Amino acid sequence: MKRILMTLFIISMLSGCNADKPVSQTIFAMDTVMEITAYTDTETLTEAINEINRLDSIWSASKKDSFVYKLNKDKTADADKDTLSLLNTEKEIFTISEGAFDPTVYPVVEEWGFISKDFHVPDEAVIQKLLKNVDFDKVTIQGNKVSLENKNASLDMGAAAKGYTSQKITDLFREKGVSSALVALGGNIQALGTKPDGSLWRIGIQDPDSEGYIGVVDVADKAVVTSGGYQRFFEENGVTYHHIINPKTGYPAGSGLVSATIVSSNGTKADCLSTAVFVMGLEKAAEMWQKSSDFAMILVDENKKIYVTEDIADNFTCETDFEIIRKEG
Ligand code: ADP
Ligand code: MG
């Protein structure tokens, strides 16, 4: 329902544009509803859709001929250019997040039932055993050969694939001379250029507690990616468990944040970072942001307090007060 509302929100913004009609298509890929809207021809749109499906078939953890499936089964597999590029960005975010972002947490995600949808709280002993296999440093890349040094390890691209894909699609549109498009892959939104009338794209940031928005961010040429515990979860004995796992504990991240939004011109980084920041929590995320210059954050904590980094504050509109995180020194 929330996703449908997001789509309607975007469409209503588009209908306010007084340029030529955009082409638009909705598909289901990477386990989510995707809506691509671009001021281009249907041929270019079809090319973009084909590319999404191609990347989905490489990175699906369940499709038997995918790269990820082969890697997890054989512990080694040859990667294509896109996969190498994705893995390199993942390595970078694994490092700067001090392991909060770690695709090898996958066996733990599976154990909680988030892949099979057979949800349950695992035994503590099982979690501890699985955690021994979690370490992205033990995923090695030599040439185009990717190997899992740890023979019980496996990984998935769930936290980064949509971000890489939105980046790839906006790059493809740009190369074709498209100057205005909105790529919405579930909660991953990437804007190409501005709206045709030159105004900024208005992206709603979902309210974790309702079907509305906590605010709106105005952007051009940026990805806006949100990770939140409200997206995929189950309840057992009155406790809610969500799908973003702290790789240090094996349990759903409980950092005090209920949602983490990253705004960046790099869609791949934005997706990795939204997951990382959700795990890290406010303080550690702010420290990481202090040392970086290529992303901004909009964070919501358990008390619904909103924190916005100064590099996006002027573009963020919200009905309630929010605290601005500033660069030190
Ligand atoms: P979504 O894909 O639901 O929008 P995210 O981008 O935050 O949300 O990715 C969550 C997915 O990433 C999970 O479904 C799981 O497959 C995987 N994952 C869970 N925890 C982590 C983590 N700490 N680091 C990397 N990947 C994770
Ligand atoms: Mg992510």
Q: Is residue 29's pLDDT more than 70? A: yes
Q: What is the pLDDT of residue 199?
A: 98
Any ligand 1 atom below 6 A from CB of 112: no
Any idea which ligand is nearest the CA of 267? Answer: 2
**What percentage of the chain's residues is helix, strand, coil (to nearest 5)?**
35, 25, 35
Mean pLDDT throughout 150-179? 97
Closest ligand 1 atom to 231 CA: 3
How far is it, in rounded angstroms, from Cα 266 to Cα 312? 15
Mean pLDDT within 117-143: 97
Q: Which residues, 6 or more positions from 95, have their beta carbon under 8 angstroms from its beta carbon?
A: none
| Ligand 1 in reach of 103 Cβ (< 6 A) | yes
Inform me whether the pLDDT recorded for 3 exceeds 80: no
Q: What span, in angstroms and rounded, lies between the C-alpha atoms of 78 and 62?
A: 17
248 exposed, middle or buried (CB, 10 Å; 0-12, 13-18, 19+)? middle
Position 211 scores a pLDDT of: 87
> What's the pLDDT tens digit per position in 180-209?
999 999 989 999 999 999 999 999 999 999
Distance 228 CA to ligand 1 centre (A): 10
**Closest ligand 1 atom number to CA of residue 188:** 4
Which has more confidence, 14 or 327?
327
Name the pLDDT band for 160 (thresholds 50, 70, 90): very high
With a cut of 70, say whether residue 28 has pLDDT above it: yes
Q: What is the pTM of this model?
A: 0.94
% the chain with pLDDT above 90:
91
Q: Which residue's C-alpha comes closest to atom 16 of ligand 1?
A: 158
Beta carbon of 279 within 6 Å of any ligand 1 atom: yes
Residue with tokens 């691509």, as numbered in its chain = 36
pLDDT given for residue 66 in this prediction: 98
Q: What is the CA(124)–ligand 2 centre distance, in A?
A: 26
Annotate 12-23 with b (16+ C-beta within 10 A) or e (fewer): ebbeebeeeebb
* Ligand 1 lined by 247 (C-beta under 6 Å): yes
Give the pLDDT of residue 224.
98
Q: Which atom of ligand 1 is nearest to the CA of 246?
A: 23
Q: What band does 21 get if pLDDT is binned at 50, 70 and 90?
A: confident
Residue 296 has what pLDDT?
A: 98
Query: What confidence category does residue 11 fall into, taking pLDDT thresholds of 50, 70 and 90?
Result: very low
Residue 4's pLDDT band, with cuts at 50, 70 and 90, is very low
Predicted confidence at residue 187, as pLDDT, reads 87
Q: Which ligand is nearest to the CA of 279?
A: 1
Q: Which atom of ligand 1 sits closest to the CA of residue 114?
A: 14
pLDDT of residue 234: 95
Q: What is the pLDDT of residue 9?
A: 46
What confidence tier does 18 reach under pLDDT thresholds 50, 70, 90? Answer: very low
Report the alpha-carbon distance of residue 256 to residue 244 in Å, rounded. Answer: 13
Listed as own residue / partner, the contacts of 166-169 with beta carbons closer than 8 Å and 24 or more positions apart are 166/190, 166/223, 166/267, 166/271, 167/223, 167/266, 167/267, 167/268, 168/51, 168/55, 168/82, 169/36, 169/48, 169/51, 169/52
Average pLDDT of the chain, as a whole number: 93
201-206 sheet: strands from edge to edge: 201-206, 213-219, 316-317
pLDDT digits (tens, 9 = 90+) for 255-280: 999 999 999 999 999 999 999 999 99
Joined together, the tokens standing for residue 220 give 């051009």
Return the number of other C-beta atoms located less than 10 Å from residue 177's C-beta: 8
Q: What is the pLDDT of residue 20?
A: 73
